Amino acid sequence: MVQGKLIAVEGLDGSGKSTQVALLKRWLERENYRVFFTEWNSSSVVKKVTKKGKDQKSLTPTTFSLIHATDLCDRFEKQILPLLHAGYIVLCDRYKYTAFARDAVRGCDREWLRNVYSFAPKPDITFYFETPLTVALDRILSGRPQLKFHEAGMDLELSEDIEESFKKFQGMIYKEYKKMKDEFVVINATKPPEEQQRLVRSVVESKIDLKRFKKKRV
């Protein structure tokens, strides 16, 4: 049994999950807890491959899925698991559920995906930031109009218009997330950010014995 605790945040693009996990991290650090943050698609070993595949648009549903599994696995074996052993609270901005949702939409078999990612344990808490699809779309499409090819699901050939494709793709991902709701702590992401954060912190306090994670003063 590991001493540490694993917390993941999931949600659509534009759900505000990255903001919320950043606020959670800030609080835990200020309170002097042992905390480590890691995000999706950030392993240095596989980064070049992912970038190449995306730039050349040569990724298929299977290689897209496998390269992201390699990314999480590399971070899991080198950082997440050792830090959990060392008694850290590990925060993950996106975790395996992101792959379950996106890759299933791309046509990968759901059971196969669950098996591929079985190296990654169920987090102690998985927050899902729920927004109605239209709200998430609005936030992205008004604030950041430069959509990327894969982010918009253009590889699925849902539409030739990138914005239209993004909308359809996000709608499909939204449905996949919905199927997994039982595995999440659902946060209403239409509420003001500070209200969401209060709720997030209270869930963390109720589920994790935080005083065990205090850094020792030297």
Partner 1 sequence: MRKWFGKGLPKQSLKNLPGKFIVVEGQDGAGRTTHVSRLRAWFENKGFATAEIGLRRSDLAGKELSEAMSTHSLTPLTMSLFYATDLADQIENVLLPSLRAGFVVIADRYIYSIIARAIVRGQSMEWINDLFGFALKPDAAVFLKASPQTLASRSFFKGGTLSFWESGQDIEGGGDIYLRFIRYQTKLAKVFDQVIKDHKITVVNAEGSEDAVQATLEERVSELLF
Tell me the helix, strand and coil percentages in the chain, rounded to 5. Answer: 55, 15, 30
- Looking up tokens 């609270």, which residue turns up? 89
Interface with partner 1 (CB under 8 A), residue from 18, 19, 41, 70: 70
* Binding flag, residue 77, partner 1 (CB under 8 A): yes
Which region among 47-55, 180-188, 191-199, 203-211 touches partner 1 (by CB under 8 A)? 47-55
SS3 16: coil
Interface with partner 1 (CB under 8 A), residue from 22, 61, 171, 190: 61
User: Whole-angstrom distance between the N-terminal and C-terminal Cα of the chain?
Assistant: 27
Cα–Cα distance for residue pair 203/110, rounded to 1 Å = 29
CB of 77 to partner 1, least distance (A): 4
* Binding flag, residue 109, partner 1 (CB under 8 A): yes
Interface with partner 1 (CB under 8 A), residue from 6, 8, 73, 91: 73
DSSP label at residue 214: B
Interface with partner 1 (CB under 8 A), residue from 7, 9, 59, 91: 59
Q: Which helix (H) or strand (E) holds 129?
A: strand 125-130
* Binding flag, residue 179, partner 1 (CB under 8 A): no
Q: Which is nearer to partner 1, 3 or 58 (CB)?
A: 58
* Binding flag, residue 119, partner 1 (CB under 8 A): yes
Which region among 1-9, 114-122, 132-140, 181-189 touches partner 1 (by CB under 8 A)? 114-122
SS3 13: coil
Interface with partner 1 (CB under 8 A), residue from 69, 84, 158, 208: 69
List own/partner pairs for 179-186 with CB under 8 A and 24 or more apart.
Answer: 180/97, 180/100, 180/101, 181/128, 183/97, 183/122, 183/126, 184/10, 184/97, 184/126, 184/127, 184/128, 185/125, 185/126, 185/127, 185/128, 186/128, 186/130
CB of 66 to partner 1, least distance (A): 4
* Binding flag, residue 190, partner 1 (CB under 8 A): no
User: Interface with partner 1 by CB under 8 A: which residues?
Assistant: 45-46, 48-49, 52-53, 58-63, 66-67, 69-70, 73-74, 76-78, 106-109, 111-112, 115-116, 118-119
